[in-house]
Amino acid sequence: MMIDSFDVWWWPFAYILIAGWIATDMWRWLGVLLGNRIDETAELLVFVRAVATALVAAVIAQLILFPSGALSETPIALRVAAALIGFASYTVSGNRIYVGIALAMSVLVLGF
């Protein structure tokens, strides 16, 4: 089956949904099956978690320092302030991620 197999408006959406579900769900089930056998304190797993955290931090830093699109029109001080306020509110609120995101977005929207 290809994305252009059927000539109905909803087929590309169904194709993407099905193909995306199969591609990701297979790995989730494999992770569930094999995850019970992995020791969380193993050095390899600690290393993998550290690399994943570093990659997320690098992407966030790139979005703040070298943004694209509409975000690039905002001053760097506003982007840095929004990130700091978002992180501080996340920490103060007891690690509630939605609080941090809401305040950071509010600072960006009000500052823009």
pLDDT in tens, 4-56: 677 888 888 888 888 888 888 888 888 888 888 888 888 988 999 999 999 99
Do both 64 and 105 map to the same domain? yes
According to the model, what pLDDT value does residue 3 have? 63
Q: How confident is the model at residue 1 (pLDDT cuts 50, 70, 90)?
A: low
Distances from the Cα of 34 to the Cα of 31, 38, 42, 52, 75, angstroms: 5, 7, 14, 19, 46
Residue 28 lies in a domain: yes
Residues 55 and 83 in one domain: yes
How many domains does the chain contain in total?
2
The residue segments making up the domain with residue 30 are 9-38
| pLDDT greater than 90 at residue 61 | yes
**pLDDT at position 51:** 96
3 found inside a domain: no
Tens digits of per-residue pLDDT, 70-100?
Answer: 899 999 999 999 999 999 999 999 999 999 9
Residue 4 lies in a domain: no
